Amino acid sequence: MKLRTILAASVALSFAGQALAQDFNDPAEFKKQREQLSMKPQGPEGQPWAQHLGDGMVDTAKYKKDGQVTICFSNAGVFNPWRVVGLNNLNAEAELHKDRLKELIVVDAEGKDDKQISDIEALVSGGKCDALIVSPNTTAALTPAVEAACGKLPVIVFDRGVNTQCPVTYIHPVGGYGFGITSGEFIASKLQKGANVLALRIMPGVDVLETRYSAAKNIFDEAGIKVVGSEFTGSDRAKTKSIVEDYINRGEKIDAVWMDAGDTATAALEAFEDAGLPYPVISGEDQQDFLRKWQSEKLTAIGPSYPTYQWRTAIIAALDVLDGKQVPGPEWVLPQPAITEDVLAKYVDERMPPLHYSLCGCQELPGYPERWGGKK
Amino acid sequence: MTTVPLPSSRRAAGIALNAGLVIFVVLYAAIALLQPNYLEPGLFMNFLRRAAPLLILACGQLYVILTGGFDLSMGAVATLVVLAASILINGDPDATWAVIGTLYVMGIAVGLVNGLVVAFLKVPSIITTLGTMLLVNGLALAWSGGAARGDLPDNFRNLGRLVWRGVPVIGTLPLAVVVIAGFVALAWWGLNGTVYGKRALAVGDNPRAAELAGTPVAVTRILAFVVSAVSAVTAGILLGGFSGVSVNAGEGLELQAIAACVIGGAQLLGGRGSIWSAVFGALSLFALFTLLNILGLPQALRDSIQGLILIAAVGASMWRSRKRN
Amino acid sequence: MTTDAAKPGPARSGLPISILLAGLSIGFFVVVALATGEVSQLSGQGIVGLLQRMVALGLVSIGQTFVILVGSIDLSVAALISAVAVLASHIMQGDPAMILPAILICLGLCLAVGLVNGALVAYGGINPLIATLGTGLIIQGVLAASFGVLQGAVAREFQVIAYGGLLGVPYSLLLLAVLSLAAGFVLDRTLFGARIYAVGGNPDGARLAGIRTERVTLSAHVVASLFAGASGLYLAARLQSGTPWIGRDGIYDLESIAVTVIGGTILAGGKGGVAGTLAGVLLFASLDAGFNMLGVDAFLKQVLRGAIVIAAVAVHAIRTKEHVA
C-alpha cells in the first residue's frame, strides 16, 4: 500500500500536468455544454438571470409559506472580485422583495470548509431560516452539511454543486467546459494552424477552472494550435505581467493569450505594450478594465463569462420555492453569454470600477452603480 | 559604550555580504546559461525593475530583523497602498503627489502602531504585526469594498513602469531602478552613516545590555518599524506602478522579505546583518524565482525548491559561523 | 524571573488567564445571542455547535503549545494538515478496511516531518521559523504537484469521528477533550513535561542540569506534528476528502500561534500551558459564532480579529518587565 502511494506520488510529480488534465476532461460533459451554449433559453426575454436551459421543473408546493419569510445564505466567502460583485447582486435582489422578505441573514465562511459546515449547522439549528441558500466552498466537503439541512428546510445551491440530489435546485450557468469552448473556438478561428497560444490560469486543481482549460486545450489540439505554455498566476497582476514578459524575453512568438479568468488580462496585455510588440489575440472575461482596453485599443478579443447574475437567481429561486411555484430543477442551468465585438459597446460603462463584472444583470437593481463601487 | 558586540557583528556582516552576493551570482549565471540574453543590459535592468519591490521590502524588513523582531504587516501595507492610491487618485494626475504624501503618512502610522505596541505593550512583534496584518488588510478591503476601485493615472504608474530608452552605456534605464538605488543608499546611510545602525545591532544582540549601556531601546525599536512601513509604502507604489491595482498586490511578500534577509546572511532575532544582506538576499531570491520559471518546472514544485533553498542557505550560514567559532 | 521559569513544572499564573479568557469568550457569546434574539444558540445543540468550531484549531494548537513552550515554533502545521487530509482520503478510497492503515501511514508521515523539523531546529541550529517555513513549503509543493493522482474520499465509517456522537456529544469533541487532558497531564505531571518547561525557560540551565535539550526540542516538534496530523484526520473525516489547501485556507499556522500566545504561553518558552491555549481557541470560536449572529461584514471581521489578537496578548504581556522583540 505504502509502496503504491509512494509510486503514485513520484509518478504524479513527473506527470502532474497531464494527471490533472485527465481528471477534468469529461467528453460527455463537454458535448452537453457545447449543446447548451447554442440552446435557446426559456423564460422572460432580456432577463437571463430568470431564464433557464432545458425543460426540467420541480414542484415545490410542500414548501409554500405565507407571510413574511427569512432567507439564510451561507456564503463560501468574498475572497475575489467575482464574489464581491455577486454578493452585491444578491443583496440588491433581496432589496427588491422587501415586502415578502423579513430578513436576509448572510454568514461568510472566509473560504474555510470547516467553518462553512459549522455555519450551516448553526443556521439550521438557529431555527430562524425559512429557506437556505448555499454557495459551497468545495463540493465534497459541504455535502453532508447540506444533506443534514435538506431534512429541515428547502435548500438552494448555486455556483459550485454538492454531491447529493437533496437540494430543491442547483443553480449554475452552463459551466467551465462552456467557458473554455467559447474562448477556445474564438482563438482557434483567428489563428493559423501551427500558431502559438499562451495559457494563463489562476491555480491548479480547482474543478471550475480545470474544466475551462481542458475544454480550450481540446479545441487547440484539434485545430493544430500549439500551447507554448500553461502558467499559473494566482490572480496576481504583477506575476501575470512577469510571466508574460519572461515568455516574450525567451523570444517565443505569442500569437494569442488564453485566460481561464480575465481579472489579470490587462496586466498580460501591458507586457506586450512594454515590450513594444503588437497585441495578441486574447480571451479575457467580462471585467470592465478588459472591456475598456479592448474598445480603446481595438483588440481582437472575446469575453466569455461565468455570469455573476446567478447570485440574483438564488434569491429569486428561494422566494419562488417559498411561494410554492414550480422552479427549474433539479438543475437550473442559466444561459452563459459571451461578450463579442458587436455587443462590446453595450457592456462598457465608464462609471464602474475596473474589476466590475459587466454581466452582473444589475443595471436595473436598486443602488446601481454606487452599490457596486461605481460613480454616479 | 556598545562597542563590545560590534567587532564580531561587523566581521559577520562582511561575510554575509559575500554569501548573498555569491548565491546571487551563481543563480544569475545559471539563468544566463539557459537563456544568454539575460546578460544583455536591457534584460538585466528589467530583472532589477521586477525585483525592485521585494528588494525595497527586504531593506525595511532588515531594520526590524536587526533589532530582533519581525514585521509581518508589510505585505498588507503594500496592498493598502495600492488600493488606497487608486481610490484617492481616481485617475486624476494632478492628485498623484499629494496622495503619495498621504500614503506615506498612513504607512508611518502603521509603523508607529507596530513599534509602540511592541515597545510599550510588550506584545511580541510576530503577534503584533500578525494583528496589524489582519487589521490593515481588513481595512483596505473594507475601504475598497473587496475589489479594486478607482484608477491610477500614468504619472503614478510610471514610477514602477517607465523605462528610459537610449541611455548611454546601459541602453535602457527603468525609473524603478533609480528608486531602488536611492532607497538602498538611504537605508545604507541610516545603518552606517548614523548612530542608529550601532544601536539597532546592540538592541538586537542583547536589549538588556544595550539599555544598561544607555541605548534608547524603545526608540530604536519603534524607528525600525517605521522604516519597515516606509519601505512597504515605497514597494506598494512600485507594485501599483508596475502592474496596476489588485486586492492581492502585497500577498505573501512579508515572508519573502524575511526569507531574502536570511538568505543574505542576516540573523533572525537580531545581532547580525547588513544592508547588503537584504539587497543580495532579495536579488538571490528573485533570481531563484526567475530561474525556476525558465526551467519550466510545475508551479507546485517551485514552492518545494524554494523551501529547500531556504533551509540550505540558513543551514550553510549556521555551519560557517560554527566553523568560525 | 528566569530562574523562576526554569523550575520544572507549569507556571501557576497560566490558570487565571485561561479562566478569565474562557469566561470572557462565553460571556461574549451569551450576550450576543441574547442581544440578537438567537436564543436557540444557547441550547445544548447551539453550544455543541460552538464547541465544534474549536476542534480543528484546538488540536493543532495543543501541539503548537508544546513547541512554543520549548522556545521553538512550527509554521509547517498548515501544510501538514493538508497533506494528512489528502493522504487519508487517498489511501482509504472509501474502503473501511483501509481506515487503520490510513491513520497509521498519516501518523507515520507526521512523525517523519516532526523528526525533520526537530532535527533541523535542535541539531542543525536553524532558526525554527525558517526551518519550518521551509519544510512547510516543501510539503505544500509536493502535495500540490501530486494532488492529481492523490484524490479519493475517506470511508463513510471514518466520518463518524466528525458526525457521530455519544449522548449528544460529538466524538470529535470527546477526542479534543481527551487529547487536551492527556497533553495537560504530560506537561504538568511527567518528567517529559518538566523538561519541556526547563528547556524553554532556561536552556543553559537545563543543559547544566543534565537534560539533553536537543532531544526535548526534537520530541516537542514530533508532538506538534502528530497533533497537526490529528487535526488533519479530523478535517478529512469532516470534509470527506482533503484538498491541498485546507490547511492554508484555515490559516492554521498563524492562528495556532496566535491562540497559544493569547492563552498566556510566552513565545520565548518556559511559561504557559494547554488550558490557556484552549481558552484562546474558545475565544476564536466565540468570535466566529458571535460575528455570524451580529452579521458583521467579512472585511470588518478581519479588522476586529486583528485588533483583538493584539489586545488579548497585550493584556498579560504588558506586565512583562523584560524587553520583547
pTM for the full predicted model: 0.90
Q: Span C256-273, mean pLDDT?
A: 92
Give the A:B interface size as CB pairs under 8 Å. Answer: 86
Considering only CA atoms, which of A317, A298, A280, A305 is closest in space to residue A356? A305
Terminal alpha carbon distance of chain B: 24
Side-chain half-sphere CA neighbours of B283 within 13 A = 27
For B37-96, the DSSP string reads GGGSHHHHHHHHHHHHHHHHHHHHHHHHHHTT---TTHHHHHHHHHHHHHHHHTT-GGGH
> How close is the nearest chain C Cα to the Cα of B164, in Å?
38
Which residues of chain C have a Cβ shorter than 8 Å from any chain A Cβ? 38, 40-41, 43, 45-46, 49, 52-53, 56, 87, 90-91, 98, 101, 105, 142, 144-151, 153, 159, 163, 235, 238-241, 243-244, 246, 249-250, 288-289, 292, 295, 298-299, 301
Q: Which helix (H) or strand (E) holds A118?
A: helix A113-126
Residue type, A105: I
Structure confidence at residue A16 (pLDDT)? 41
Domains and CATH numbers, chain C: 2-317 (1.10.3470)
Task: Mention every residue, 6+ apart, whose C-beta is less than 8 A from residue C167.
Answer: none
The answer to whether the CB atoms of A113 and C90 lie below 8 A apart is no
For A7-28, the DSSP string reads HHHHHHHHHHHHHHHHHT--HH
- CATH architecture, domain defined by B6-324: Orthogonal Bundle (1.10)
DSSP-derived letter for residue A350 is T
Q: Is A250 exposed, middle or buried (0-12, 13-18, 19+ CB in 10 A)?
A: middle
Per-residue pLDDT tens digits for C138-175:
999 888 888 766 778 888 889 988 888 888 889 999 99
Q: What is the mean pLDDT of chain C?
A: 90
- What is the pairing mode between strands A327-328 and A301-302? unpaired
Per-residue pLDDT tens digits for C82-110:
999 999 999 999 899 999 999 999 999 99
Per-residue pLDDT tens digits for A280-328:
999 999 999 999 999 999 999 999 999 999 999 999 999 999 999 999 9
Structure confidence at residue A10 (pLDDT)? 45
The answer to whether the CB atoms of C300 and B138 lie below 8 A apart is yes
Q: Check if the beta carbon of residue A48 is closer than 8 Å to that of residue A337.
A: yes
DSSP-derived letter for residue C167 is T
Q: Is the pLDDT of residue C136 over 80?
A: yes
What is the grid cell recorded at B180?
531602488
Cβ atoms within 10 Å, residue B322: 9
Structure confidence at residue C305 (pLDDT)? 92
Q: Span C214-231, mean pLDDT?
A: 97
The answer to whether the CB atoms of A105 and C243 lie below 8 A apart is no
Task: Report chain B (325 residues): mean pLDDT per 10 consecutive residues.
Answer: 41 58 92 90 91 96 94 96 94 93 97 95 93 95 89 91 85 92 95 92 89 91 96 96 89 90 86 89 92 79 84 81 69
Q: Is the pLDDT of residue A361 over 60?
A: yes
Residues of C in contact with B262 (CB under 8 A): 127, 130
Structure confidence at residue A23 (pLDDT)? 65
Q: Is C58 exposed, middle or buried (0-12, 13-18, 19+ CB in 10 A)?
A: buried
Q: Span A169-177, mean pLDDT?
A: 95
Chains in contact with B via at least 3 Cβ–Cβ pairs below 8 Å: A, C
Residues of A in contact with C51 (CB under 8 A): none
Listed by start position, the domains of chain B span 6-324
Q: Is A113 exposed, middle or buried (0-12, 13-18, 19+ CB in 10 A)?
A: buried
Region label for B196, one of left (φ > 0), alpha (ψ between -120 and 50) or beta (otherwise):
alpha
| Cis peptide upstream of residue A173 (ω within 30 degrees of 0) | no
At B246, phi and psi to the nearest 5?
Answer: -155, 160
Q: Check if the beta carbon of residue A40 is closer than 8 Å to that of residue A73.
A: no
Distance CA(A265)–CA(B303), nearest Å, equals 25
Q: Return the residue of B nearest to A85 by Cα.
A: B147
Domains and CATH numbers, chain A: 48-175+307-336 (3.40.50.2300), 176-302 (3.40.50.2300)
What is the grid cell recorded at B225?
518599524
Lowest mean pLDDT, pick from A155-164, B17-26, B234-243, C281-290: B17-26
Structure confidence at residue A18 (pLDDT)? 40
Q: Does B40 touch chain A (CB under 8 A)?
A: no
